[in-house]
Amino acid sequence: MRKEVVLITGANGEIGHGLITHLGEQGNVGIVALDVSPLDESLKKYCERFIQGDILDTMILGRLVSEFEIRTIYHLASILSTKAEYNPETAHRINVEGTLNLLRLAVEQAAWQSRPVKFLYPSSIAVYGLPDLKTKEAAGKVKENEYLQPTTMYGCNKLYCEHLGRYYSSNYRQLAADRCQNTIDFRCLRFPGLVSAVTIPTGGTSDYGPEMLHHAAQGIHYDCFVRPDTRLPFMVMPDAIKSILDLEAAPAEKLTQRIYNVTSFCPTAQEFYDIILKAFPNADVDFKPHASRQGIVDTWPCDIDDSAARRDWNWKPSYNQERSFDDYLLPAIRQRYAVK
């Protein structure tokens, strides 16, 4: 008999790390984790099985179908925005073709189980593309269906995969005589910039905030690649995990859309630095905007409207800006780097 599990791809990433830890500590579900790199030692105790491999490897995914009854897929694996700009074709293969492979796996699982498989997918504010700073400043809180003209490969990939998820949930093989009735329950979160005290950020264009913090705690100089007045929405990792689990648990009949914005606070880079400077008075930060990366950030909204999530599944972040720093980031960062 196949064991009932959840599948988490991108297990070693920022979200994967937090999600596996949270689910593992709860102990309610078996976890199968997948990543291209060896699993972090701290996560092994939580996993029923770890598979080191690529989401483009259909042989690996085929084995999963035959060995496990997968109830929920948390598809976190991706190449992030900055890295994707250096290797856009590779990013497309992993971010789009890899997602398509996981959607196919979910369809096979749903057919085998005769019930829908939940598919949780993290998207990003990179799907937005505001035309200029004047528009960005005037736009206010941007809704899910506004300004969807991404300027990065990562943003294009994420937006397309949102549409793929909607298709597989509602219109998959819609003209086929043997159309599958039980397919995918696709649920997507559009995340703002995420800040973690546990993992070091790698490859994201909103990473200037967490990078500034981690460098300051270690006493290392940091050149911030955006202007001081740059404003983006952010959320700390515990709230990112909370939002995923809240959306996963929400009754399907309560959900009025497939894609939901979630956010918490939206400081400027200067405000981020000012908070860090109070905690680490010797923080050494220079603002040296990188023209291309600044150009990308300028197309992303100052803030996003998460009222649909609040209405449909009672989303509410546990950490506002003050709590994010005082109760989570600063204590954990000080402990991590043994800073008094």
Both structure tokens of 2: 């196949």
**Residues 98-147: pLDDT tens digits?**
999 999 999 999 988 889 999 999 999 999 999 999 999 999 999 999 99
pLDDT-based confidence at residue 18 (cuts at 50, 70, 90) = very high
What pLDDT is attached to residue 66?
A: 83
Residues 136 and 95 sit within 8 Å (Cβ to Cβ): no
**Residues 75-97: pLDDT tens digits?**
999 998 888 999 999 999 999 99
Q: Spell out the residues 6+ positions from residue 200 whose beta carbon is closer than 8 angstroms to its own.
A: 214
As a whole number, mean pLDDT of residues 199-204 equals 76
**Residues 230-259: pLDDT tens digits?**
999 999 999 999 999 999 999 999 999 999
Residues 57 and 35 sit within 8 Å (Cβ to Cβ): no
Strand partners, 68: 3
Distance between CA atoms of 57 and 80, rounded to whole angstroms? 20
What pLDDT is attached to residue 181?
A: 72
User: Is residue 340 scored above 60 in pLDDT?
Assistant: no
- Across the beta sheet with 184-191, the strand order is 49-52, 30-35, 3-9, 68-75, 117-124, 184-191, 259-261
User: Is residue 209 scored above 60 in pLDDT?
Assistant: yes
Terminal C-alpha separation, the chain: 53
User: Is residue 1 scored above 70 in pLDDT?
Assistant: no
User: Is residue 202 scored above 80 in pLDDT?
Assistant: no
What pLDDT is attached to residue 64?
A: 86
What pLDDT is attached to residue 2?
A: 74
The mean pLDDT of the chain is 94
Q: Match domain 78-132+141-196+233-264+303-322 to its CATH number in 3.40.50.720, 3.40.50.450, 3.40.640.10, 3.30.420.480.
A: 3.40.50.720
pTM, 2 dp: 0.95
Percent of the chain with pLDDT over 90: 86
Cα separations (Å) of 14 from 20, 62, 77, 80?
10, 26, 10, 12
Distance between CA atoms of 145 and 163, rounded to whole angstroms? 12
**Residues 27-66: pLDDT tens digits?**
889 999 999 999 999 999 999 999 999 999 999 998 888 8
Pick from 235, 19, 207: which is nearest to 121 by CA?
Answer: 19
Residue 276, number of CB atoms within 10 A of its CB:
24
Pick from 294, 317, 21: which is nearest to 151 by CA?
Answer: 294
pLDDT-based confidence at residue 198 (cuts at 50, 70, 90) = confident
Distance between CA atoms of 38 and 185, rounded to whole angstroms? 30
Residues 121 and 262 sit within 8 Å (Cβ to Cβ): no
Where along the chain do its domains lie? 78-132+141-196+233-264+303-322
